[in-house]
A and B are shown apart, each in its own frame.
Chain A
Amino acid sequence: MQVPILKQGSCLIASIQSVLSDADMLQLRDNLADMVGRHRARGVIIDVTVLDVIDSFATRTLRQMAHMLNLRGADTVIVGIQPEVAFAMVQLGLTLEGVGTALDLEEGLAFLEEKTKLHARPGR
């Protein structure tokens, strides 16, 4: 199941529509790394609202994605982690260290806007 990626201003929004297999997850990572370059995106939002479980593999892949995209010059924010999913992640000891998270799409956009502003601030 391909994850649709939309462009909104200087942001890309990957909106996961159904439960993903490992292969789908890796495909998403590669597509995003490619599209950030093609669209010169500064920020990426990954909406994981529909994911019923974020296990160790998904966590590792999301972390890899965020780091890869960061190396490509874009900030990443993961939005929509459901309360039970968050609870299970905590129980599993899984962290998304170094990865931005926000409640939902709206908060995610605000998060990226803030970040982009910081980058654009002139002077040192």
Chain B
Amino acid sequence: MQDPAVDIRLEVRSTIDIVTARQQSRELAMELGFSGTETTLIAAAISEIARNILDHAKRGEIIFTVVHRGGLKGLQIIADDQGPGIPDIQRAMQYGYSTRRGLGVGLPGANWLMDEFEIESTVGKGTKITMRKWLKNGIRRHNPAG
């Protein structure tokens, strides 16, 4: 199977885009060979970070990329916005902590759903969240049993 060569970029500016982003992630994850459950976990994580963009920055962008590391293949999702930024990332990653109307589960939740999760944020400049999920059968191919 040919990997999508270019990044897929989606603008997030209204709540409808959350649904679109979720569908996009689902298609891509299925195509890459993620299981139904993993695909749902990825879609749920996308839902939360897209919502985070809308709630805090009003608009931003989600970029999907197929990534390789060693023998592993995975899906990388970047959520990028030019919003107010997060003054205290540690606190924002605390479960149940919310500055706005959310439940405060968005960012920590997305972190739990994915394999890797990084946040860079500068107050007044914006926030960039990078998260990845790796194909588990890729591990097996990389380290064949026996």
Q: Do A and B bind each other?
A: yes
Q: Which of B60-68, B74-82, B98-106, B126-134 contacts A (4 or more CB under 8 A)?
A: B98-106
Q: Which of A3-11, A89-97, A98-106, A107-115 contacts B (4 or more CB under 8 A)?
A: A89-97
- Contact string, B42-56, partner A, CB cutoff 8 A, digits 1/0? 011001100100000
Contact of B37 among A21, A22, A53, A87 (CB under 8 A): A87
Most buried by B among A19, A20, A59, A91: A91
Residues of chain B within 8 A of A59, CB atoms compared:
103
Q: B57 on the interface (CB 8 Å rule)? A: no
Q: How many residues of B contact A (CB 8 A)?
A: 26
Q: Which of B11-19, B85-93, B117-125, B137-145 contacts A (4 or more CB under 8 A)?
A: B11-19
- Contact string, A48-79, partner B, CB cutoff 8 A, digits 1/0? 00001101110110000000000000000000
Q: A84-B37, A88-B41 are in contact. Are A22 and B112 (CB under 8 A)?
A: no
Q: A85-B40, A88-B41 are in contact. Are A56 and B22 (CB under 8 A)?
A: no
Are A93 and B40 in contact, with the CB atoms below 8 A? no
Residues of chain A within 8 A of B102, CB atoms compared:
56-57
* Distance of A56 Cα from B50 Cα, bound (Å): 12
Residues of chain B within 8 A of A20, CB atoms compared:
19
Main secondary structure, interface of A, reads helix
Q: A52-B22, A53-B44 are in contact. Are A21 and B113 (CB under 8 A)?
A: no
Are A21 and B16 in contact, with the CB atoms below 8 A? yes
Closest B residue to A20 by CB, please name it: B19
Are B112 and A56 in contact, with the CB atoms below 8 A? no
Are B37 and A94 in contact, with the CB atoms below 8 A? no
Closest B residue to A85 by CB, please name it: B40
Are A92 and B109 in contact, with the CB atoms below 8 A? yes
Q: B36 on the interface (CB 8 Å rule)? A: yes
Are A88 and B113 in contact, with the CB atoms below 8 A? yes
Residues of chain A within 8 A of B37, CB atoms compared:
83-84, 87
Most buried by B among A21, A22, A59, A88: A88
Closest 10 CB pairs of A and B: A92-B109, A84-B40, A22-B15, A55-B47, A88-B44, A56-B103, A84-B37, A56-B105, A53-B44, A53-B43
A-B contact pairs, 22 of them (CB 8 A): A19-B19, A20-B19, A21-B15, A21-B19, A22-B15, A52-B26, A53-B44, A56-B103, A57-B47, A57-B51, A57-B102, A60-B103, A84-B40, A87-B41, A89-B44, A91-B41, A91-B109, A93-B95, A93-B105, A93-B112, A94-B105, A94-B109
